[in-house]
Amino acid sequence: MTISEPIIDLKQVNFSYPGGPAVLRDLNFRLHPGERIGIIAPNGSGKTTLFHLIMGLAKPFGGQVTIFGQARREERDFAEVRRRIGLLFQDPDDQLFSPTVLEDVAFGPLNLGKTKAEAAAVARRTLNFLGLNGFEDRITFKLSGGEKRLVSLAAVLAMEPEVLLLDEPVNGLDTRTRARLMDILRGLDLSYILISHELDFLTATTNVIYTMENGHVRLDRELHFHQHTHAHPLGGSPHEH
Amino acid sequence: MLLEPFAAGDSFLHRLDPRIRLASAVVYSCAVAVCTAFPALLTALLLSMALIALARLRITAIFKRLLVVNGLVVFIWAVIPFTFPGEALFRLGPLSAAKDGVELAAQITLKSNAIVLAFMALVATMPLATAGHALHRLRVPDKFVHLLLMTYRYIFVLEQEYQRLVRAAQIRGFRPGTNLHTYRTYAYLVGMLFVRAVDRAERVRWAMLCRGFKRKFYSLQEFRAGAGSIAFFFLMCAAVLGIAALELWPGSW
C-alpha cells in the first residue's frame, strides 16, 4: 500500500484564519490508494480546514499540497482535484441547493459536460444505489435530516470520484440511517477520509484512525490499540483495559 | 414553510406547458394593467374567474389570498377618492369624494383582482422550481432565474435560523416590549441573521465549486407545448385583443 504514490500529500502545511491563531502547523498528511482514514479530534482542531485545503477552498500560507502527483497552488490547479475528489459537507443544506433531488444529484455530472440524458441516468443510478428510489422529484428542503444526508452523498457520488472526504457524516443521524450509511461506506470501492466524533462508527468504516493536535495530524496509538483489543471474547460486554 | 397548495392538481390548466402559462399570464396582465374602460375591466375580471374555474382550485384558499390583496385595496378606497381634485360625487362630513377618484379606485380594484386571479390560475398552478425553469426557457436572464430559485431554496433555511435565534432569546426570558432593550435585541437578531446568511452563501458556493460549477446552470426539465397548449395561447391572445377592443372602442359594443 505504501509503495504506490500517495493520492494526497500535504507537506509542512500552515494555515490560520485572518486574525486568528494557527489552525494547522507544519502539518504532514498522506492518503494512499485504498486507504480509509478516520480522523477523530476535538472541535476547532482544524479537521474541516484540512478538507478545505485539499479541495482548494482555503489556501495554505506555506508548505506543499500535492494531489494526484501534481503540486496544487492556484484556483485552476484545483479544478481537476474537485472533479476527482468528492467532499461531503457537514451541513447537507449547504450541499443541496437545487429545488429537486434529481436536479441536485445531476448538477455535478452536468458540470462535467455530460448531456442531460446521461446526467439524469447517472443521477438515477446513484439514487438507486443508495436505496433512494422514488426521491427524484422530491423538493430538497422538504426532506428529513437523514434523507438530506443520503441525497447529498448521492450528489457527491454521482460525480464518480476516486476519493471521498466525509465531514462528520453521522452528525444528527438516527441509528437506522447511521447503520445504512455504514453499510454504504463499507460497500464502496473508494479511498476516503472520514471525520467523526463517533469512535465506533470510525472503527467500523475505516482501517486507520488519526487524531489532530496542535495543528498536526498524528496516528492515535491509544485509539488504534483500543480498536483491536475489542476483537477479544469480552469485547461485547463492558470491561476496562 | 413555503407551501404551494395550488401546484398540485390535474386540471386542464395544470397540464398546459408552463412556458405557455407564464407567457399568457404576462401578456394578459400587462394588457389588463393598462386598461381604464369599465367594460374592458369587467370582461377581464370575468375571464379571470373563468380561468380559476378551469384550474379547479379550492375556493376558500382563493378567497384567503384575495383578502390579502383587497386589504391593500381598502386603503386605496380610503385615500384616493378623498384626495383627488374634481367634481364631488358624495360627501362624508368635511370630506368630499371626487368622481374621478372613485373611478380610479374602482379601476384599481378590478385590475388587481383580475390580475391576481389570473396569476393564481396560470402561475400558482406550477411548482416554483418549474416556473424558474420555464422562465429560463423563455430567455429570462440567468441571474434573475437563479436568484429566484436560490431564494426559494434557502428562504426556508433562513427562516429556521431565524426561529433558532428567536428561541435562543426566548428561553433566556426575552419578552418583546416597547423599549430600547427590545429594539436592540431585534437589531442583533436581524444582524445575526445577515451574518449567518453570508456564511451560508459562502459554504453553498464552496459546495458548488466542489461539484465543478462553472457559472452555468443546466436544467433537466424538458417542456413540450402540445396542441392544447398552443390553442390555449391563441385563445388567450384573442381574449387580450377582445379586451383591447373594448378599451379602445368602449361605445361600439
**Is residue B251 very low, low, confident or very high in pLDDT (cuts 50, 70, 90)?**
low
- Cell numbers describing residue A210: 488519526
A52 contacts B207? CB cut-off 8 A: no
> Rounded to an integer, what distance in angstroms lies between the CA atom of residue A227 and that of residue A199?
9
pLDDT (average), residues B219-223 = 80
**Whether the predicted pLDDT of B161 surpasses 60:** yes
Closest partner CB to B212 (pick from A82, A97, A140): A82
B150 contacts A97? CB cut-off 8 A: yes
Percent residues over pLDDT 70 in chain A? 90
Interface test with B, best of A52, A59, A94 (most B CBs within 10 A): A94
Q: Which residue has the higher pLDDT, A239 or A77?
A: A77
Establish if B101 touches chain A: CB-CB under 8 angstroms.
Answer: no
Torsion-angle region of residue A106: left (phi > 0), alpha (psi -120 to 50) or beta? alpha
B210 contacts A116? CB cut-off 8 A: no
> How confident is the model over A87-145, as pLDDT tens digits?
999 999 888 888 889 999 999 999 988 999 999 999 999 999 999 999 998 988 889 99
Determine how β-strand B95-98 pairs with β-strand A216-219.
unpaired
What's the confidence (pLDDT) of residue A1?
Answer: 46
> Rounded to an integer, what distance in angstroms lies between the CA atom of residue B253 and that of residue B248?
11
CA atoms within 13 A on the CB side of A224: 11
A97 contacts B153? CB cut-off 8 A: yes
Establish if B246 touches chain A: CB-CB under 8 angstroms.
Answer: no
User: Cβ–Cβ contacts within 10 Å for residue A153, how many?
Assistant: 25
Name the minimum distance, in Å, from the CA of B35 to any CA of chain A.
Answer: 37
Shortest CA distance from A152: residue in chain B: B207
Counting one residue from chain A and one from chain B, the pairs whose CB atoms sit within 8 A come to 82
Name the minimum distance, in Å, from the CA of B248 to any CA of chain A.
Answer: 44
- Cell numbers describing residue A40: 477523530
B214 contacts A91? CB cut-off 8 A: no
> How confident is the model over A167-191, as pLDDT tens digits?
999 988 999 999 999 999 999 999 9
What's the confidence (pLDDT) of residue A67?
Answer: 95
B149 contacts A99? CB cut-off 8 A: yes
Classify residue B203 by burial, with Cβ atoms within 10 Å: 0-12, 13-18, 19+.
Answer: middle
B211 contacts A108? CB cut-off 8 A: yes
> How confident is the model over A24-76, as pLDDT tens digits?
999 999 999 999 999 998 888 889 999 999 999 999 988 999 999 999 999 88
**Whether the predicted pLDDT of A241 surpasses 80:** no
For the whole prediction, is pTM greater than 0.80? no
DSSP state letter for A5 = P
Percent residues over pLDDT 90 in chain A? 62
